[in-house]
Amino acid sequence: MRRKLLVPELGGARAVILHRPHPTVQALARQLIAIGLAVDTHWPELEPAALAADYTFFDADMGYDAQFPWKPGAAPMPMIALLGSEAPGRIGWALSQGADAHLLKPVGDNGVYAALLIARHAFEARRTLASEIEALRARLADRQTVVRAVTLLIAEGHTEDAAYDQLRQRAMAGRETIEAAAHRVLARHKEDGHGRRRSS
């Protein structure tokens, strides 16, 4: 299915440009202002205030890791590389910074709007995937928890199928993952175990 392009709210959005003073910066700022964004220019380092920006445009020709107040690839906003040299080393470095889109220098009076939309789209897609992967990894790490919970339920007299089913139903009732339900089964068992030991 074709996904509808989400057009971001650009009126009043903030863009920072990390580039030495240059006509490219003027041309880029003009287009951003025409589109409705507020623009700040920095060089050679992005100040911490840039963390609040909605978009970062950065020079891929003279850029280096220490310019950014975040780790390479961990920018909290869409990143757009300003490419002059098309040497693979520079493109590779721009990608390592997490470039979501690029503009070729010299920047003229078109391409900026498309770069904003493409970068926003790529950034959101990347962020959604990253959080999905993180959630899946966490669930994967809990495989043993699920196995132990099922084993416990079997020990309480359920068949294997019924044990799984009960775990699934607990997860549904608690609106949580099956792994979270398994954690609670184990926790309850631990409490019960302690209780039994105290009472005996």
Give residues in contact with other proteins (CB under 8 A): 7, 9-13, 27, 30-31, 33-37, 108-110, 113
Cβ closer to other proteins: 40 or 176?
Answer: 40
Q: Pick between residue 31 and residue 97 the one whose CB is nearest to other proteins.
A: 31
* Strand, coil or helix: 79: strand
Q: Answer whether 163's CB lies under 8 Å from 150's CB.
A: yes
Residue 25: CB minimum distance to other proteins, A: 15
Strand partners, 42: 18
Alpha helices in 97-142 (DSSP H): 112-141
Helix (H) or strand (E) holding 39: strand 38-42
CB of 17 to other proteins, least distance (A): 17
Considering only CA atoms, give the Rg of the chain.
Answer: 26
Nearer residue to other proteins within complex by CB, 9 or 86: 9
Q: Which residues have C-beta within 8 Å of that of residue 29, sequence separation ≥ 6?
A: 17, 39, 41
What are the backbone dihedrals phi and psi of residue 136, each rounded to the nearest 5 degrees, phi first? -70, -40
CA distance 124 to 107: 25
- Distance of closest approach, residue 125 Cβ to other proteins, in angstroms: 21
H-helix or E-strand containing 37?
none
Instruction: CB nearer to other proteins: give 22 or 90.
Output: 22
User: From the CB of 117, what's the least distance to other proteins, in Å?
Assistant: 10
**CB closer to other proteins, 30 vs 139:** 30
Q: Compute the least distance from the CB of residue 83 to other proteins, in Å.
A: 20
